[in-house]
Structure 1
Amino acid sequence: MSQSGYTARMTRKPAGELRTGFTTGACATAAATAAAGALVTGEWVDPVEITLPRGQKVLFPLESRAEGAGWARAVVVKDAGDDPDVTHGANVTATVARGATGGGLRFFAGEGVGTVTRPGLPVPVGEPAINPVPREMIGRSLADLAEAAGISADFDVTLSVPGGAELAERTWNPRLGILGGLSILGTTGIVRPFSCAAWIASIHRGVDVARAAGLAHVAGATGATSEKVAQARFGLPDHAMLDMGDFAGGMLKYIARHPVPRVTIAGGFGKLTKLAQGAMDLHSGRSQVDFEQLADLAATLGADRAEIAACNTANQALGIVGAPLACAIAEAARMKAQAVLSDAPVEVDILLIDRAGNLVALADSKGVHVP
């Protein structure tokens, strides 16, 4: 291992610290580099060193390798660290062959790697779902190998992830129009445990796909139940449904810069109370309902302020006050969301859903409605 590098299979960190991991793009680069090196020089390097986009040098051990007439294949096991990544443990595989002279670097989707079928993503329709940064990383590494060997950098690279088609069903790929498998992703090469960045990036791609399809209405929901209600009420197609989750701010800020005429936010009373109170990240670990503020609002509706302030949950307060509080929260949430959108030509409405999946209140530019 070089003095500047570190191993891709990192040692356990002290208690309380979370391990970082590596993206599918970094793993694919390592596998492609090892395979291309064997193809060009006839020798395998294991572990293989690559340089990540920010300059870090990392050594990746090979899980397996193979070669034949005019091709070589290497497998790197994806280590996502302590992030709950569906691709953790996947065999990221690169098969490299010499391409036609002057053909340059060409990418192909093997087993378990998807193909882009809708516009709006950073990769053109019909191309393997290998994002720009992994393409650049692989291209740079293989160009260096070719230069050192005194040959042209004409390579055909096929990336595959056995079992990737099944794993992709647990991602946003089908909704984004990436069919047949996973995407090869990563902008830094490193996975930060429980990072919000990957989720927010997927929301952004969902907006891009919706805009490219010419959709005038999209919806983001805090969970599956709320999403079903919103989709059914407005008859929206799957690619209009953004996987907002807790990241209301991440969705709204992007839509403010990349407008869609109408956006619906659907969620339960607790999450939307936090939005109404100004929180943009609705996760329970990153924002809490302010019961003093909720009590002040309830008091304007005739409720006992002290009783609401003493509530343990937002839904407890809703049970006491009922529909008037639901309507007030829905309208307040709409106003907060509209403020984030600022002067963007976007109209926002709010659907407040109870735990049974019933629509409790709807707030839009025409007012607040109780079904």
Structure 2
Amino acid sequence: MSDDDLSLAEQEQELPAEVEEKKRKGQLRTGYTTGTTATAATKAALLALLGKEVREVQVSLPKGKTATLKVAWTQSENGRATSAAVKDGGDDPDVTHGAEICSTVSFNDKAGAVNIDGGQGVGRVTKPGLGLEVGRAAINPTPMAMLKQAVEQVAGEQIKARGVDVVISVPKGEELAKKTDNPRLGIMGGISILGTTGIVLPYSTASFAAAIRQSLDVAIAAGADSAILTTGGRSEDFAKAMFDLPEHCFVQMGDFAGYSVRQAAAKKMRRVVMAGFIGKLTKMAMGVKQTHVRGSHVDMEFMAGLAESCGANQKVLAEIRQANTARHVGEIITKNNIKGFYDLLCRKVHEQMSEYSGGRLDIEVIMFDFDGRVLARYTQARH
């Protein structure tokens, strides 16, 4: 990943204990991308079209590696063959794990032409900014190259005399896509065929980072110079009630606050609004740029220090120091009517994120309570 991507520290995730133990022992199983799976299905279908049905195929991955995948089934009729492979994401909790990815292959009369398209369950690009042509199937460049390479490996000299048509389909793709960012990104009707290495690393943050970058790119391509960065779906819903902006302006940054503002600044956006609840915003105020980093627990002493700056007495400070969560601290603040606490917290977030973005963005910070009421807003124009 580039310098604008996640640092090693930012890639550390706080995982369930049993997953953490497996990761520590090196027991987490890697998997294969949708691109690799589609390539396996394509290779098997083309072999079947040439009269050789197989139960497994070897796929060439980027950087010279190979992988052997099983073929789920193959059917041939009317001058075309269809094979399916099942997406195996290893131990990564991806929504496409277990999905059947099919490839239908036939010959055409255009010598040398290899046409690759998406069918049922593969999304179509409807917005610019994704590095893919609007109207085309959402098959990313690396999988596209892998598919073409597979056709050439199998057909060889034969494609000089006649071309090959390949249609990738995912029977449950349209339903699966609803659980992804595709609708937000303007990829409609199905999932994307993805992968840069061909391999899925369990619990990798790279895919989330890519989704943030893509979301910002789509917003910019649509003419937006501002983005509303939220920590999740609930805060996004509350933000949408405040800002009458197109869907593409709303980007879920999740735990990647620092990364998101850095990307927005690098892409020369003018302004971002960062909206969330007390827990994530407190971590941002503490200077934690990736709020799910192991050990990045809310520091009650830090919160007590803010409360003391707002005039809280020693009894309240002691109660804060013994609090269970940031939300619990919020209840203590509200109960004791500590004025200015939430404003100060938002100002601290602003300071941290402004520094991290190199002062290249206008930043507004909004804190919601859990019913969607605005507890505090802070913004300050760049000098």
- State the match for 1:365 in structure 2: 380
- State the match for 1:334 in structure 2: 350
Structure 2 SS opposite 1:348: strand
1-side partners of 2:295 and 2:190: how far apart?
33
Which sections of structure 1, spanning at least 5 residues, go unmatched?
1-12
Q: 1:252 to 1:99 in 2, by over 3 A?
A: farther
Establish whether residue 183 from structure 1 lines up as the match of residue 192 from structure 2. Answer: yes
Q: Within 5 Å, which residues of 2 pair with 1:100-111?
A: 100-102=109-111, 104-111=113-120
- State the match for 1:129 in structure 2: 138
For 1:28-70, what per-residue CA distance to the aligned partner results, in whole angstroms no more than 9, with x for missing partners?
A: 011111112222x311232100121132211111111011233
2-side partners of 1:150 and 1:327: how far apart?
67
Post-superposition offset of 1:197: 0.8
Q: 1:253 to 1:154 in 2, by over 3 A?
A: farther
Q: Identity over the aligned pairs, expressed in percent? A: 41
Post-superposition offset of 1:83: 1.4
- State the match for 2:108 in structure 1: 99
Q: 1:112 to 1:75 in 2, by over 3 A?
A: same
Task: Pick 1 or 2: higher relative contact order, CA cutoff 8 A, min separation 6.
Answer: 2
Post-superposition offset of 1:203: 0.8
- State the match for 1:112 in structure 2: 121
Which sections of structure 2, spanning at least 5 residues, go unmatched?
1-18
Aligned letter for 2:331?
G
- State the match for 2:39 in structure 1: 29
So what's the TM-score if we normalise by structure 2? 0.87
- State the match for 1:20 in structure 2: 30
- State the match for 1:7 in structure 2: none
Post-superposition offset of 1:158: 0.4
So what's the TM-score if we normalise by structure 1? 0.90
Structure 2 SS opposite 1:54: helix
Aligned letter for 1:131?
N
Kept in 1: contact 2:118–2:169 (CA 8 A): yes
Aligned letter for 1:338?
S
Aligned letter for 1:66?
Q
- State the match for 2:213 in structure 1: 204
2-side partners of 1:308 and 1:273: how far apart?
14
For 1:193-215, what per-residue CA distance to the aligned partner results, in whole angstroms no more than 9, with x for missing partners?
A: 22111111011100000000001
- State the match for 1:316 in structure 2: 328
Structure 1 SS opposite 2:134: coil
2-side partners of 1:68 and 1:129: how far apart?
27
2-side partners of 1:15 and 1:299: how far apart?
40
- State the match for 2:171 in structure 1: 162
Kept in 2: contact 1:229–1:357 (CA 8 A): yes
1-side partners of 2:249 and 2:109: how far apart?
41
For 1:64-122, what per-residue CA distance to the aligned partner results, in whole angstroms no more than 9, with x for missing partners?
A: 10112332111001111121111111100011111332462212221111100100012
Aligned letter for 2:200?
V
Aligned letter for 1:333?
V
Deviates more, 1:83-92 or 1:275-284: 275-284
Kept in 1: contact 2:121–2:190 (CA 8 A): yes
Post-superposition, which runs of at least 4 consecutive aligned residues in structure 1 deviate over 4 A?
Answer: none
Q: C-alpha root-mean-square deviation of aligned residues, in Å?
A: 2.1
For 1:122-156, what per-residue CA distance to the aligned partner results, in whole angstroms no more than 9, with x for missing partners?
A: 21101001011100111112122232657457321
2-side partners of 1:359 and 1:155: how far apart?
58
